[in-house]
């Protein structure tokens, strides 16, 4: 088997879509700049000149100070967001190959396996970082049902580090026709 170390799958950065929006704004600014460069050589009316003349006026514009502070704070927030760790979305299985699974996939496997146990009508599984909880609707008079459900999912959870595994038995609901 291959002992290759695959990178851990992680969630998208929190600022991904904001950065895409900022990139689009920068793209638009670049297009305006290219247009005005073209204008410089062809003599057509410019888009940036009136704006730059307004900003370069000898008057002090208080709103520019507020805008500068706003952009400074925005830059600080973006820099902090860049260095925050991304959320872990998968769990590494304890196999030689680098295999990762989402907690929801582990829950679906456990639910499917628990529903195959005789006496189980329906099952529901919740996987948290420290535990797996399987809630089973079935025969509450069967004392071995909980152990049989535990035994059936045990081999599935050998490779997935899940922590404590709990099984709760609830009476099956009778649906009136």
Per-domain residue ranges of the chain: 16-83, 91-171
Tokens 């909980």 found at: 146
Between CA 151 and CA 172 the distance in angstroms is 21
Sign of CA pseudo-dihedral 78, 79, 81, 82: positive
Strand partners, 100: 92
CATH architecture of 91-171: 2-Layer Sandwich (3.30)
**Looking at residue 93, what is its pLDDT?**
78
* Sheet of strand 120-127: strand arrangement: 120-127, 131-138, 164-171
For CA atoms 91, 94, 98, 104, give the dihedral sign: negative
* Model pLDDT, residue 64: 67
Looking at per-residue confidence, does 99 or 150 come out higher?
Answer: 150
pLDDT at 4 over 60: no
pLDDT tens column, 106-124:
899 999 999 999 989 999 9
Supply the pLDDT for residue 1: 45
What number is the average pLDDT over the span 59-71?
75
pLDDT (0 to 100) of residue 25: 86
Residue 3's pLDDT band (cuts 50, 70, 90): low
Which residues face 171 on adjacent strands? 138
Q: Mean pLDDT for the chain? A: 81
For the entire predicted model, the pTM comes to 0.60
Query: Counting Cβ atoms within 10 Å, is residue 53 exposed (0-12), middle (13-18) or buried (19+)?
Result: exposed
The model's pLDDT over 24-48, given as tens digits with 9 standing for 90+, comes to 888 888 887 787 777 777 777 777 7
* Per-residue pLDDT at 55: 67
11: pLDDT strictly greater than 80: no
The answer on pLDDT for 54 being more than 50 is: yes
pLDDT in tens, 69-100: 888 888 888 888 878 888 887 887 777 777 88
pLDDT of residue 139: 85
> What integer pLDDT is reported at residue 148 of this predicted model?
92
∠76-80-81 over CA atoms, to 5°? 115
- The predicted pLDDT at position 117 comes to 93
């Amino acid at each position: 088997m291959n002992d290759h170390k695959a990178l851990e799958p992680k969630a998208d950065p929190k600022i991904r879509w904001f950065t895409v929006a900022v990139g689009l704004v920068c793209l638009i600014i670049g297009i305006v700049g290219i247009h005005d460069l073209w204008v410089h050589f062809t003599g057509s009316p410019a888009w940036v000149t009136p704006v730059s003349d307004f900003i370069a006026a000898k008057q002090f514009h208080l709103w520019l100070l507020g805008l500068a502070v706003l952009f400074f704070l925005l830059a600080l927030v973006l820099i902090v967001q860049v260095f925050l760790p991304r959320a872990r979305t998968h769990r590494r299985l304890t196999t030689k190959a680098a295999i990762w699974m989402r907690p929801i996939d582990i829950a679906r496997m456990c639910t499917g396996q628990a529903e195959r146990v005789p006496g189980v009508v329906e099952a529901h599984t919740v996987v948290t970082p420290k535990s797996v909880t399987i809630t089973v609707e079935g025969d509450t008079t069967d004392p071995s049902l909980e152990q049989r459900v535990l035994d059936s999912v045990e081999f599935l959870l050998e490779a997935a580090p899940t922590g404590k595994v709990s099984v709760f038995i609830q009476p099956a609901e009778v649906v009136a026709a």
